[in-house]
Amino acid sequence: MIGVTKEESVAWVQVKHPPANALSTELLTQLDERMTELSHDDEISAIILHGEGRFFVAGADIKEFEGKKGSDLADGGQALFNKLESFNKPIVAAIHGAALGGGLELAMACTIRIATEDAKLGLPETNLGLIPGYGGTQRLPKLVGPHKAAEMMLTGLPITGADALMWRLVNDTAKDEQQLLEKAGKLAKTIAEKSRLTSERILDLVQEAHHGEDFEKGLKKEAQYFSEVFDSADAKEGIGAFLEKRKPEFSNR
């Protein structure tokens, strides 16, 4: 259900659960396992998450709902998506077809999102008499604002990838799936070429700013991390390369 291929320092994580790539319990367990492995893989500096077939992820596996406890479903999904949001390596979500319900919640937990212009993104849980349970009610308002988020969740209506760019739900769009994967690959490769130490620190500081309420605490952490990276071998290499007008070669280990 979850495939992983590696191209130099970039890992491509594929969701494989036809026909809609629904988020079954087994799929979420495999995703957790594969991402844990990648977090410890010293050869990987960036990750691309995408779905095989017609969709990114069209939602949760509703067939599994019967006999399940809502608290177990919500707790498990939230734990995994919180883990992805605070992951130690950047994750680029490449969205085509549809990212609905849990699929959009998964994408929102990623670092960066790119979507095809005609992709459908939404949280349609109200159509089932439900509400989002994997973090959607908390992440969507921070991305598109409270009023647009309320409209999307109350109506259950999706928006296109083009509209998602306008609402800053995604970082960029592509005209089709081929261009989508090309853009995602180029972006991930550019990120992977940077110092892994700086990437890890930036990701942590972005989460501090996103979730923290103490601006001064965030500044102190920034100063602490700046001091750490300033004295690192990667900083010496980067500064030296700039002065010598050459491309830096970071250790990334």
Catalytic residues: 105, 125
3-state secondary structure of 163: helix
The rounded distance, in Å, linking the Cα atoms of 242 and 181 is 31
Paired strand residues for 92 = 48, 112
Dist. CA 248–CA 178, nearest whole Å = 30
Closest C-alpha to 47, from 97, 20, 71, 13:
13
Tokens of 26: 């087994």
Q: Rounded to an integer, what distance in angstroms lies between the CA atom of residue 89 and that of residue 110?
A: 10
E strand intervals along 101-191: 112-116, 120-122, 159-160, 172-174
State the residue for tokens 């994750």. Answer: 91
Q: 230 CB contacts (<8 Å, ≥6 apart)?
A: none
Residue with tokens 């990838």: 161
Q: Measured between alpha carbons, how far is 27 from 50 in angstroms, rounded to an integer?
A: 14
Enter the DSSP assignment of 194. Answer: S
Residue of 90, 60, 95, 91 whose CA lies nearest to 165: 95
